[in-house]
Amino acid sequence: MNLMEILQGQLSDDMVGQLSQQIGAEKEQTAAAANGIFATLLGGLANNASTENGLASLASALDRDHDGSILDDLIGMVGGMPQGAGASSSALNGAGILGHILGDRQETAAQQISQNSGLNVNQIMKLMPILAPIVMGVLGRAKSSGGLDLGSLANILMGSAQNAQSGGFGDLLGNVLGGVLGGGQPQQPQSSGGVFGQILGGIFGKR
């Protein structure tokens, strides 16, 4: 299961158009930024799932708040949150989700995604809390529909992050995750994909 592909599949032309209107950007740049945000959040989730406590906390949050119901009306959610759609307030709390995944490094991630997409940091910061619930919704639906245990959940996160790297996000992931998770050390573009691989190896090498 490739979560990155599933997330990209949520970006319909209408969805990208509505997001673009909200942040005042061209659709091509918005789509590029959205993909960068998805990839970054998958990497952050993989990092959070690197410990037993982190993985258990993630699984608990998915079971409690993220059943994937928000995916049934994404246009409505982007347009002002669906009314009566059954999604909990926690499922729609993009700022809270970002806090759990990236902590105080959200602006660092936004700066890196900005450099790769052409949007400014403020536009990225507007997009991130809109898209974060979609990531959790996709992950929650995957967990519930597939009956995933903790080990399977961790493996899917790792595999999806690696697929994002090989799918053309290697430089972005190397820079973003190197900055967000690697202490802020600058990465050389030619080695950034390798840096991301090293990060994942460190995260999951003990499994």
> Tell me: the pLDDT tens digits for 84-102?
445 567 788 999 999 998 8
Q: Give SS3 for 184.
A: coil
What is the per-residue DSSP string for 124-193? Answer: HHHHHHHHHHHHHHHHHHHHHHHT--HHHHHHHHHHHHHHHIIIIIHHHHHHHHHHHHSTT----GGGHH
Instruction: Please check whether residue 167 lies inside any domain of the structure.
Output: no
Instruction: Please check whether residue 177 lies inside any domain of the structure.
Output: no
The predicted structure's pLDDT at residue 89 = 76
pTM confidence score: 0.81
* Crossing angle (nearest 10°) for helices 27-48 and 150-164: 140
Instruction: Please check whether residue 137 lies inside any domain of the structure.
Output: yes
Structural domain of 30: 3-161
Tally of CB atoms within 10 A around 189: 10
Instruction: Please check whether residue 69 lies inside any domain of the structure.
Output: yes
The predicted structure's pLDDT at residue 86 = 52
Instruction: Please check whether residue 168 lies inside any domain of the structure.
Output: no
Q: Which residues contact 183 (CB under 8 A, 6 or more apart)?
A: none
Q: Lowest mean pLDDT: which of 8-12, 110-114, 152-156, 184-188?
A: 184-188
Residue-wise pLDDT for 54-73, tens only, equals: 889 999 999 999 988 999 98
Q: How many domains does one find in the chain?
A: 1
Instruction: Please check whether residue 198 lies inside any domain of the structure.
Output: no
Instruction: Please check whether residue 67 lies inside any domain of the structure.
Output: yes
What is the mean predicted confidence (pLDDT) over 114-119? 90
Residue-wise pLDDT for 184-199, tens only, equals: 433 333 333 333 344 4
Instruction: Please check whether residue 205 lies inside any domain of the structure.
Output: no
